[in-house]
């Protein structure tokens, strides 16, 4: 017999997959992965982040993030620069191409998020968002 605590992780994974299914087609059309989009979105929101901050912001583990950053760098989407105060720290920001990429994708992603909200009901989405933020400790 399963307990609620055993099914919660599976339900969260299924919920993630359901939500991501709305945006996957947009990303596939642009030849981007979900993780690459998370990096682009985080850098757009924060202007510049170091690799540790970026890993935390995007929930991407270091080894995977390194590969993603190498690809985005080779594609000219990001710019990496050593921190002036600590040369061991690498600061990352979007290049002009990266900002244009974000703007191009953002419109399509917004439409998909609106569709998700419409399909689920805006009140349910807001409630779910608030519950999840509380669950992960991002609510005061």
pLDDT at res. 30:
87
Q: Do the domain assignments include residue 109?
A: yes
Do 51 and 73 form a contact (C-beta atoms < 8 A)? no
Give the contacts of 128 (CB within 8 A, at least 6 positions apart). Answer: 15, 120
Q: Do the domain assignments include residue 18?
A: yes
Mean pLDDT over 12-35 rounds to: 91
Q: For position 13, which CATH number holds?
A: 1.10.10.10
pLDDT one-digit tens code per residue, 47-62: 899 999 999 999 999 9
High-pLDDT (> 90) share of the chain, %: 66
Domain that residue 21 falls in:
7-135
SS3 label, residue 127: helix
Say yes or no to pLDDT of 86 above 90: no
C-alpha span between 102 and 40 (Å, rounded): 7
| Pairwise pLDDT comparison (138 vs 108), residue with the higher score | 108
Mean pLDDT over 49-78 rounds to: 95
SS3 label, residue 30: coil
What is the largest distance, in Å, between two alpha-carbon atoms of the chain? Answer: 57
93 band by pLDDT with thresholds 50, 70 and 90:
very high
Q: Do the domain assignments include residue 140?
A: no
Q: Do the domain assignments include residue 2?
A: no
Instruction: Tally the domains of the chain.
Output: 1
139 band by pLDDT with thresholds 50, 70 and 90:
low
pLDDT one-digit tens code per residue, 101-122: 999 899 889 999 999 999 999 9
Strands (DSSP E) found in 20-137: 48-50, 78-82, 90-94
């Amino acid at each position: 017999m399963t307990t609620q605590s055993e099914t919660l992780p599976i339900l969260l994974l299924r919920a993630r997959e359901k939500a991501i299914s709305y945006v996957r087609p947009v990303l596939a059309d642009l030849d981007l992965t979900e993780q690459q989009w998370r990096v682009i979105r985080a850098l757009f929101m924060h202007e510049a982040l170091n690799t540790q901050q970026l890993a935390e912001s995007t929930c991407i583990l270091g080894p995977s993030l390194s590969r993603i950053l190498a690809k985005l760098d080779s594609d000219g989407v990001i710019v990496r620069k050593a921190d002036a105060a600590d040369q061991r720290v690498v600061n990352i920001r979007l290049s002009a191409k990266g900002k244009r990429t974000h703007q191009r994708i953002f419109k399509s992603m917004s439409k998909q998020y609106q569709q998700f909200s419409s399909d689920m009901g805006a009140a349910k989405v807001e409630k779910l968002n608030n519950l999840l933020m509380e669950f992960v400790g991002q609510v005061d």
